[in-house]
Amino acid sequence: MTETTQMRGVLSPVITPFKADLTPDANRLIAQCRWLLSQNVGLAVFGTNSEANSLSVDEKLMLLDMLVEAGLDPKRMMPGTGACALSDSVRLTKRAVELGCGGALMLPPFYYKGVSDEGLFRNFAEVIERVGDDRLRIYLYHIPPVSQVPITLGLIDRLLKAYPGIVAGVKDSSGDWNNTKAMLDAFPGFGVFAGQELMLLDNMRNGGVGCISATANVNPGPIHQLYANWESSEADRMQADVAATRKFIQQFPMIPSLKQIVAHYSGDAGWARLRPPLVELTAELSTKLLDGLAERNFAMPGLPKVQKGAAD
């Protein structure tokens, strides 16, 4: 197996901008990704918060190609490549490897419910075998509140034994620290990312490698600072600070709120668009969100401003 550097740190499931006709807007996305990298936050493009499952495979491939063509470092990218259809997962994962992405974040197939670990093992094994490239680094995506299909400890154990190195880690978005802790304890050296920053410090103190968090889309700098300084005496205070921001934002519908915040702080109203079935915030909620952030002196330093209407 090729020696590679394990992915670590804070990653953002980058929100996906849409043009007025609801096609994905590669230029806005490139600018946003460049800004996130400047804040030391990696690119978990095509995550849940990216509306990735509202994009076709072709749309995802186009965006990923354009991000790499734009000169962004693929080693900082962990695109979501897990789909319901095996053929889609293979196609996306293969391209991610070809482009040199640091990892691939894989949902299990999520349409059929109550499926067996044997069936899930076969799914991931088929993807790994068909991609057939030692550079592949799979991060399993455990997000039962949305996917309704869990990644169990037993499944991880079996995959790690069959594909050591290739199966590189997990994103635990269960929201259950006991589950994250169980993964950390069971698989030393496995790349365990917390699913949000509320558990970032606990995760680091127990052998984890970072977090992949929705709110890293809007608050990347402070979350990275916590990651970078988790062993310092300031860590608990920093954890409390990022947690306060997170807890305020997560009172609102997450994806529309992230887009509304970027739209507001960039001065680019087009950022607020979502694809169905998601809908934008009501005017009332939007005001409450933005007023609350202003009261907290929230800022997005260095956020690129797209000239009004230029990208529409």
Cite the active site residues.
139, 171
Question: Of 25-33, 53-61, 166-174, 287-295, which part binds its own copies (CB under 8 A)?
Answer: 53-61
Burial of 241 (0-12, 13-18, 19+ CB in 10 A): middle
Piece of 5-13, 83-91, 216-224, 257-265 that binds its own copies (CB under 8 A): 83-91
Shortest Cβ 58–its own copies spacing (Å) = 8
- If one asks whether residue 284 binds its own copies (CB under 8 A), the answer comes out as no
Told to check if 154 binds its own copies by CB under 8 A, we report no
**Residue 188 binds its own copies (CB under 8 A):** no
Q: How far is the CB of 273 from its own copies (least distance, A)?
A: 12
Q: 180 near 171, Cβ under 8 Å?
A: no
CB within 8 Å of 39: residues ≥ 6 apart: 220, 221, 224, 302
> 216, 294, 290: which is closest to 35 by C-alpha?
216
Token pair in block for residue 279? 């809908």
| In the complex, least distance from residue 118 CB atom to its own copies, rounded to whole angstroms | 5
Q: Which residues in 103-238 belong to E strands, given as ranges? A: 104-106, 138-142, 167-172, 191-194, 210-212
Which of residues 128 and 306 has its CB atom nearest to its own copies in the complex?
128
Q: How far apart are CA 138 and CA 166, in angstroms?
A: 6
Rounded to whole angstroms, the Cα distance separating 15 from 255 reads 8
* Residues 6 or more apart whose Cβ sits within 8 Å of residue 202: 177, 180, 181, 194
Instruction: Choose between 166 and 242: whose C-beta lies nearer to its own copies.
Output: 166
Fill in the per-residue mask, 84 to 113: x = in contact with its own copies (CB under 8 A), - = not in contact: xxxxx--x----------------xxxxxx
- Smaller CB separation from its own copies, 59 or 73: 59
- In the list 145, 189, 302, 309, the residue contacting its own copies (rule: CB under 8 A) is 145
Q: Find the part of the chain contacting its own copies (CB under 8 A) among 140-148, 168-176, 202-210, 265-273.
A: 140-148
Under the binding rule (CB under 8 A), the answer on residue 54 touching its own copies is yes
Alpha helices in 26-76 (DSSP H): 26-38, 57-69
Tell me: does residue 148 bind its own copies (CB under 8 A). Answer: yes
273 binds its own copies per the rule CB under 8 A: no
Contact at 8 Å (CB) between 285 and 252?
yes
| Among 224, 128, 119, residue whose Cα is nearest residue 168 | 128
Q: Which is nearer to its own copies, 1 or 279 (CB)?
A: 279
Closer to its own copies by Cβ: residue 144 or 292: 144
| Interface ranges with its own copies (CB under 8 A) | 22, 48, 53-59, 84-88, 91, 108-113, 115-116, 118-120, 122-123, 126, 145-149, 275-279
